[in-house]
Amino acid sequence: MPIAGIYGPEDFGSPVHGHPAAQARSRVTAGERARALPVPSLEWTPEVERNTAHLYQRVKKVISPAEWPFMAPYVQAINELKKTRDAVILAHNYQTPEIFHCVADIGGDSLQLAIEATKVKSSIIVQCGVHFMAETSKLLNPHKTVLIPDQRAGCSLASSITGADVRLLRERFPGVPVVAYVNTSADVKAEVDICCTSSNAVEVVESLGAPSVIFLPDQYLAKYVASKTSVKIIAWKGACEVHERFTGDELRAYREADPSVQIIAHPECPPDVLAEADFTGSTAHMINWVRSNRPKRVVMITECSMADNVRAELPGVEMVRPCNLCPHMKRITLPKILDSLIYLREEVTVDPVIAERARRSVERMINLKN
């Protein structure tokens, strides 16, 4: 069904929202210094080489032998400090291979990370991903310390809408239930009925049993959902700055160059892009599709580190690699993860009143899944 309408801040006279990434990175505070552990040696020694050799095996297809000596000392130090701090590292599929395959304890898409966050036993969670993911982990673990190596790791979708916008949408469409993509702030999650991810968006919309649903903030994911359901979808004008850059022409060019190539795309892409794809799915669905279909050559129309992570795991599959990087995901680096563990920074907090309501929206989604 075609989408019923797409709204944005200007439809309510609100200013266009700024990006959280514009904030400055904070310095190490006196409090962080007081609880710091000693900075470990970051020398490339024969011992470090030996201790990290099994991890290099995992990434040798995508990280050259010349790069590894710069990464391995951090990898070893992070893995040791995780034990000292009783910390667990959760990493999104868009993290670079040295993070995803060498220091993360759990990797996955937004839904998997949200579910895993409910099962964590360690007292500290280090979220290698963007701010809304760390906030979701905090919502589900209010008594644990949740750290993000760089608070500026934002998201163009999360910054496109505020809780006040949701209240205005509810006034405009009284009684219509609201679904929020997890790529939103806790402030927005607190105002909605239920969350979804790109793995379960259609299922969540249909679970409400309503003829119309407000779906925010991604207009392209909303269009994708509308194409799969008879529920009338009212959308918001947000977009992912990584996926909206792909074009149908680009995909046609890949196919003309090699008609046997398989093209798989994320539903945050515009409809003309999805129309050219052989398969559409969340990051986890895309990875599973490659694992089970083992295509000879595949183009992954999504953030480009994911292709590296899949290539490290499945060296027999050739990746044609359009490289659209998410600048926010790329703020997370090995040195910043190490800093997180040494200084216990940067801590993610959510106002308890907002957290209580936002948690309900995330838990409703998770309970639907189980």
Interface residue list for ligand SF4 (CB under 6 A): 130, 155-157, 183, 240-242, 268, 303, 326, 328-329
Q: Is the peptide bond before 211 cis (omega within 30 degrees of 0)?
A: no
Of the candidate spans 3-11, 160-168, 195-203, 213-221, the one that interacts with ligand 13P by CB under 6 A turns out to be: 195-203
Residue closer to ligand 13P (CB basis): 52 or 305: 305
- Which one of residues 98, 109, 150, 191 is an interface residue with ligand 13P (CB under 6 A)? 109
Cα–Cα distance, 44 to 49 (Å, whole number): 7
Cα–Cα distance, 64 to 68 (Å, whole number): 6
Residue 328 binds: one of ligand SF4, ligand 13P, none (C-beta under 5 to 8 A by kind): ligand SF4
How is residue 238 annotated by DSSP?
A: B
Residue closer to ligand 13P (CB basis): 136 or 333: 136
Residue 156 binds: one of ligand SF4, ligand 13P, none (C-beta under 5 to 8 A by kind): ligand SF4
Cα–Cα distance, 173 to 98 (Å, whole number): 46
Of 133, 94, 89, the residue nearest 111 (C-alpha): 133
Residue 197 binds: one of ligand SF4, ligand 13P, none (C-beta under 5 to 8 A by kind): ligand 13P
Of the candidate spans 83-91, 165-173, 193-201, 348-356, the one that interacts with ligand 13P by CB under 6 A turns out to be: 193-201
Interaction between residue 96 and ligand 13P (CB under 6 A): no
Tell the burial category of 18 from Cβ atoms under 10 Å away from its Cβ (0-12, 13-18, 19+). exposed
x/- binding map, residues 196-215, to ligand 13P, per CB under 6 A?
A: -xxx----------------
Cβ-based neighbours of 66, under 8 Å, separated by 6 or more: none
x/- binding map, residues 111-130, to ligand 13P, per CB under 6 A?
A: x-------------------
Please give the sequence-ordered ranges of beta strands (E in DSSP) within the chain, or none if there are none: 5-7, 87-92, 106-108, 124-128, 145-147, 178-181, 194-196, 212-216, 232-236, 262-265, 279-280, 297-301, 318-320
Query: Considering just the CA atoms, what is the radius of gyration of the chain in Å?
Result: 21
How far CA 180 is from CA of 78, 110, 128, 252, in Å, comes to 34, 13, 22, 32
Cα–Cα distance, 23 to 20 (Å, whole number): 6
CB of 103 vs ligand 13P, minimal distance in Å: 19
Residue closer to ligand SF4 (CB basis): 155 or 216: 155
Residue 283 binds: one of ligand 13P, ligand SF4, none (C-beta under 5 to 8 A by kind): ligand 13P
Which residues in the 274-293 window bind ligand 13P by CB under 6 A?
282-283
Residue closer to ligand 13P (CB basis): 198 or 309: 198
Tell the burial category of 133 from Cβ atoms under 10 Å away from its Cβ (0-12, 13-18, 19+). buried
Of the candidate spans 106-114, 271-279, 287-295, 309-317, the one that interacts with ligand 13P by CB under 6 A turns out to be: 106-114
Residue closer to ligand SF4 (CB basis): 135 or 303: 303
CB 193 within 8 A of CB 278: no
Residue 282 binds: one of ligand 13P, ligand SF4, none (C-beta under 5 to 8 A by kind): ligand 13P
CB of 94 vs ligand 13P, minimal distance in Å: 7
x/- binding map, residues 13-42, to ligand 13P, per CB under 6 A?
A: ------------------------------
CB 305 within 8 A of CB 96: yes
Residue 109 binds: one of ligand SF4, ligand 13P, none (C-beta under 5 to 8 A by kind): ligand 13P
Place of tokens 């310390």: 145
Cα–Cα distance, 244 to 274 (Å, whole number): 11
Of 323, 294, 350, 336, the residue nearest 133 (C-alpha): 350
CB 167 within 8 A of CB 187: no
Residue closer to ligand SF4 (CB basis): 76 or 137: 137
CB of 24 vs ligand SF4, minimal distance in Å: 20
**Using CB under 6 A as the criterion, which residues of the chain lie in contact with ligand 13P when the complex forms?**
93, 109-111, 183, 197-199, 240, 268, 282-283
